[in-house]
A and B are shown apart, each in its own frame.
Chain A
Amino acid sequence: MPLPTPFHPRTSKLCESLQFKSWAGYFAVSSYQSHHDPEYFAFRNAAGLLDISPLYKYEVSGVDSAAFLASVATRDVGTLQAGRVTYACFCDSHGKVIDDGTIARIDEQSFRVTTASPTFGWFDRQRRGFDIQLRDVSDTLAALAIQGPNSREALASAADDGIRDLGFFGIMSTRIDGVDVQVSRTGYTGDLGYEVWLRSGDALPVWDALMEAGTPFGLQAAGLDALDVTRIEAGFVLQDVDYFSAPRCLIESRKSSPFEIGLGWTVDLEREPFVGQAALRAEHADGSDWQFVGLEISWEGIEELYAAWGLPPSLPTHACRDAVPLFSGGRQVGQVTSTTWSPILKKYLALATVRTAQSSLGTGLEIEHTVEFERSRVAASVVDRPFFDPDRKRA
Chain B
Amino acid sequence: MTKRYDSIVVGGGHNGLVCAAYLARAGRSVLVLERRHVLGGAAVTEELHPGFKYSVCSYVVSLLRPEIIRDLQLPRFGLEILPLECSFTPQLDGPGLVRWPDGDKTRREIAQFSQRDAEIYPEFGREMMKVGRMVKPILEMTPPDPSSLRPGNLLDMLKLGRMFGQLTESERILQAKMFTMSAIDFLDEWFEGDLLKATLGVSGIIGTFQGVRSPGTAYVLLHHYMGEIDGAFRAWGLSKGGTGQISNAIADAARHFGAEIRTEASVDEVMVRGGRVRGVVLEDGTEIQADTVVSGLDPHRTFLKLCNSSDLDAEFLGSIKRFKMRGSSGKVNLALDRFPEFTCRPGDGLHVRGDVAIAPSVDYLERAFDEAKYGDFSQRPFMNVVIPSLVDPSVAPPGKHVMSIFVQYAPYALKEGPENWPQKRQAFGDAVIDTLAEYCPTLKESILHRQVLTPWDLEQKIGLTEGNIFHGELSLEQLFFLRPTPLWSRYKTPIPGLWMCASGTHPGGGIMGAPGANAARRILKTR
Contacts and interface: CB of A to CB of B under 8 A. Distances in A.
Interface in B40-87: 66, 69-70, 74-75, 80-83, 85
A41 B391 contact: yes
B230 A346 contact: yes
B70 A299 contact: yes
Contact of A150 (B81, B129, B393): B393
A150 B391 CA distance: 13
Interface in A190-243: 215-218
Contacts of B83: 37, 41, 343
A358 to B, nearest CB: 25
Contacts of B100: 34
B393 A33 contact: no
B70 A346 contact: yes
A312 B231 contact: yes
A46 B388 CA distance: 13
B133 A312 contact: yes
Interface size class of B (residues with CB under 8 A): 20 to 34
A341 B350 CA distance: 23
Interface string B179-210: 00000000000000000000000000000000
B102 interface: yes
A18 to B, nearest CB: 13
B159 to A, nearest CB: 15
A179 B232 CA distance: 46
Contact of A33 (B70, B232, B240, B350): B350
A141 to B, nearest CB: 30
Contacts of B80: 44-45, 344
A201 B393 CA distance: 32
Given A153-B398, A218-B393, A346-B70, A34 B133 contact: no
B101 interface: yes
Nearest to B233: A312
Contacts of A44: 80
Contacts of A313: 231
Contacts of A149: 394
A77 to B, nearest CB: 37
Nearest to A388: B75
A34 B101 contact: yes
A44 B391 CA distance: 11
A312 B394 CA distance: 33
Nearest to B76: A345
B380 interface: no
A343 B85 contact: no
Interface string A331-373: 0000000000101111100000000000000000000000000
Among B102, B105, B230, B394, the one with the most A-chain Cβ atoms within 10 Å of its Cβ is: B230
A83 interface: no
B85 A37 contact: yes
Interface in A147-199: 149-150, 153
B353 interface: yes
Interface string B232-276: 110000001000000000000000000000000000000000000
A217 B391 CA distance: 10
Contact of B231 (A150, A215, A303): A303
Contacts of A4: none
A254 interface: no
B399 interface: yes
Contacts of B66: 299, 346
A118 interface: no
Contacts of A135: none
Contacts of B393: 45-46, 150, 216-218
Contacts of A303: 231
A35 interface: yes
Nearest to B390: A218
A280 to B, nearest CB: 36
B392 interface: yes
Contacts of B231: 299, 303, 312-314
B240 A38 contact: no
B284 to A, nearest CB: 39
A44 B75 CA distance: 13
Contacts of B392: 45-46
Contacts of A218: 391, 393
Contact of B353 (A38, A150, A216, A346): A38
B111 to A, nearest CB: 18
Nearest to B100: A34
A38 B391 CA distance: 8
Interface string A299-323: 1000100000000111000000000
Interface string B13-25: 0000000000000
A34 B105 contact: yes
A34 B102 CA distance: 7
A128 to B, nearest CB: 53
A33 B86 CA distance: 13
Nearest to B231: A313
B102 A35 contact: yes
A318 B399 CA distance: 31
Contact of B230 (A46, A215, A343): A343
A348 B300 CA distance: 42
B240 A45 contact: yes
A2 to B, nearest CB: 25
Nearest to B240: A45
A217 B398 contact: yes
Contacts of B240: 45
Contacts of A347: 75
A338 to B, nearest CB: 19
B232 to A, nearest CB: 8
A46 B230 CA distance: 21
Interface in A1-59: 33-35, 37-38, 41, 44-46
A299 B231 CA distance: 10
Interface in A135-152: 149-150
Given A38-B85, A45-B82, A312-B133, A344 B391 contact: no
Interface string B455-499: 000000000000000000000000000000000000000000000
Nearest to B102: A34
Nearest to B137: A307
B366 to A, nearest CB: 34
Contacts of B398: 153, 216-217
B101 A346 contact: no
Contact of B82 (A41, A215, A314, A345): A41
A36 to B, nearest CB: 11
B167 to A, nearest CB: 11
A41 B81 CA distance: 10
Given A303-B231, A312-B133, 10 more contacts: A37-B85, A38-B353, A41-B391, A149-B394, A215-B399, A217-B393, A312-B232, A341-B230, A343-B83, A346-B70
5 contacts: A37-B83, A216-B399, A217-B393, A343-B81, A346-B230
Interface of A: 33-35, 37-38, 41, 44-46, 149-150, 153, 215-218, 299, 303, 312-314, 341, 343-347
- 9 nearest A-B pairs in the assembled complex, by CB-CB distance: A216-B399, A216-B398, A218-B393, A34-B102, A313-B231, A46-B393, A345-B75, A346-B75, A35-B101
